[in-house]
Structure 1
């Protein structure tokens, strides 16, 4: 019973994330797509991964559907989209405290050698 319910949940999740490929991109290196995630409809581009180039957006695996050769179920492998909408925090509080202890030492030393 448990495996049947998990299979149904996976099917519902897959069915709610679908891509329709409708044409080649302007540069000919990818495809123009419409993607339905739940109730949301998005237009986008589908491009192959290239070694050494940054990833913008998501890495997805597409599984063809039997209804149409242009319809695919989407399985997100990696979500490279920013989650916070803010820049990454690259310096920790400990780093900042260490920086202050080294460089923020009060009055400057005015002694000659």
Structure 2
């Protein structure tokens, strides 16, 4: 028996997920009212986002990223996110004014389709 105190324990090692350069983590928050998914908080690129996750179903549209979740050691509701398929970029905002019906190809080929316009006074007009 020695009178010396026991040496201090080494500090716990950080999880491997904390050592990654770009952290993407999701926390499962609560079930959705329809029972088909969960509300989540997602930490991605330094931003906290509110979202939802659902299982993929055949024939159903996909809204957002397709991800794979891996549990973390810190808490049972924390998961590392691996993005399998990025979501398509957001559609452009609606424009105001009349509908755009003529394409650039249509305009470029106008003369090929209808021929060159006639000069005024050539007698080709009906009135």
Q: TM-score, normalised by structure 1?
A: 0.65
Distance 1:58 1:79 in 2: 5
How many residues end up aligned between the 2 structures? 96
Distance, in Å, in 1 between the alignment partners of 2:49 and 2:83 is 15
List alignment gaps of at least 5 residues for structure 1.
1-6, 108-113
Are the structure 2 counterparts of residues 104 and 45 from structure 1 closer, same or farther at C-alpha, using a change threshold of 3 Å? farther
1:20-63 per-residue CA deviation (whole Å, 9 max, x = no partner) reads 00111111000110001122111111011111111111101111
Counterpart-to-counterpart distance in 2, 1:95 and 1:80: 32
Which structure has the higher relative contact order (CA within 8 Å, separation 6+)? 1
The one of 67, 78, 88 aligned to 2:85 = 78
Deviation at 1:93, TM superposition (A): 5.3
Aligned Cα root-mean-square deviation (Å): 3.4
Considering only CA atoms, is the larger Rg found in Structure 1 or Structure 2?
Answer: 2
Unaligned ranges ≥5, structure 2 = 1-15, 94-102, 119-127
Would you say 1:32 and 2:39 are equivalent positions?
yes
CA 95–22 in structure 1, closer or farther in 2 if over 3 Å, else same: same
**Higher helix proportion, which one?**
1
